Amino acid sequence: MRVFATLDMEFPRESTCVALGLFDGLHPGHMQVIRAAVEKARELRKVSCVFTYTVSGALPGNKVQGRLLSDTRFYRILEELGVECVIRPDFSEFCDLEPERFAEEFLRGRMGACHVACGEDFRFGKGAAGTVDTLRRQFGGADSLTVLPMVRQDGGTVSSSRIREFIQAGEIETANAMLGRRFAIDFEVVHGRALGRTLGSPTINQPFPADFVVPRFGVYATLTHWDGREYVSVTNVGVKPTVGSDHVLAETYIHGFSGDLYSMAVDVEFLRFIRPEQKFAGVEELREQILRDSETAEQIAAGMTNTAAREH
């Protein structure tokens, strides 16, 4: 899969079928738009392409985004969907283009788009003035434009903003259902104070990037993936009030794992909120609570496995 991170790069000369959108969560609504472009590209024997963007500052209206996916997971999911080309500049590179100019000069001209797919609420161009009707005037007809309806769930539309709200409230199961997969982090493991190891409960520490969504502070049942194996784990999100931390991080105790994961990017999937973060009288009390939380996580993971088995 080819990735173009700026508009200054030379784009493919082939004709493309392009999925348009921010795609910041790759939730079911986003996935259906991308799949439509991929399927059309296969049908027409064109190159499947995603045009999206990153946001280094705030979007119009001072709307600040908290990322739901790391770049690694983002590109991996797109590749699994069959996307061949991704154009992902920063929003500032094209936000002042008039909608018609963006559609004609950029999509048709530079990207060679013969077909575009987007959601019904897609907006683009200067002042977000471009709409699906603008694309219809430029591309026209079902042969060159696919517009997908918004996905609805539990009485509301599936959206990245709603998913963020659920994550920030600790409602991980609801967020996961809306995402269509488990919310996960894969940040680099850094050195901590090694207190967990001295207590017989070694943990991995993963600081949250400043632009990433942070779940409600507290303890979660999680699954940690490493070297092709899945481990039940328990993760504390917060500032470690008992022993102290200078920044927000995820500290994960991986049941049954021993090894050195420092400097590695480790996948941790969130299953369910267990309890709020709290300060203990001492490290021994903290150790005992970690073991109790681990037992709870084992029960949660087992329950989910049994439920999934019955459903299939």
Nearest CA to 245 out of 215, 275, 277, 220 is that of 277
Confidence of residue 197 (pLDDT cuts 50, 70, 90): low
Q: How does pLDDT run across 244-256, given as a tens digit for each residue?
A: 556 799 999 998 8
Least confident range from 86-95, 102-111, 185-194: namely: 185-194
In whole angstroms, what is the distance from residue 187 CA to residue 264 CA? 8
Given a contact cutoff of 8 angstroms between Cβ atoms, the answer to whether 8 and 15 are in contact is: no
Report the largest interatomic distance among the alpha carbons of the chain, rounded to a whole angstrom: 68
* Whether the predicted pLDDT of 309 surpasses 80: no
Q: How does pLDDT run across 209-228, given as a tens digit for each residue?
A: 989 999 999 999 999 999 99
Q: How many residues does the chain have?
A: 312
CA pseudo-torsion sign 74, 217, 204, 175:
negative
* Whether the predicted pLDDT of 139 surpasses 90: no
Q: How does pLDDT run across 38-75, given as a tens digit for each residue?
A: 999 999 999 999 999 998 765 555 455 689 999 999 99
For residue 140, the model assigns a pLDDT of 73
Q: How does pLDDT run across 284-303, given as a tens digit for each residue?
A: 788 888 889 999 999 999 98
* Whether the predicted pLDDT of 257 surpasses 90: no
Mean pLDDT of 133-140: 87
Q: What is the mean pLDDT of the chain?
A: 88
Mean pLDDT of 120-127: 92
Confidence of residue 312 (pLDDT cuts 50, 70, 90): very low
Mean pLDDT of 153-170: 92
Least confident range from 76-85, 102-111, 175-184, 301-310: namely: 301-310
Cα dihedral angle (137, 61, 51, 69), rounded to 10 degrees? -150
For residue 84, the model assigns a pLDDT of 97
Q: Is the pTM of this model over 0.85?
A: yes
Within 10 A of 86 (CB to CB), how many other CB atoms are there? Answer: 21
For residue 196, the model assigns a pLDDT of 57
Confidence of residue 194 (pLDDT cuts 50, 70, 90): low
Confidence of residue 134 (pLDDT cuts 50, 70, 90): very high
Q: What angle do CA 61, 65, 68 make, to 5 degrees?
A: 155
Mean pLDDT of 111-135: 93
For residue 62, the model assigns a pLDDT of 46
* Whether the predicted pLDDT of 186 surpasses 80: yes
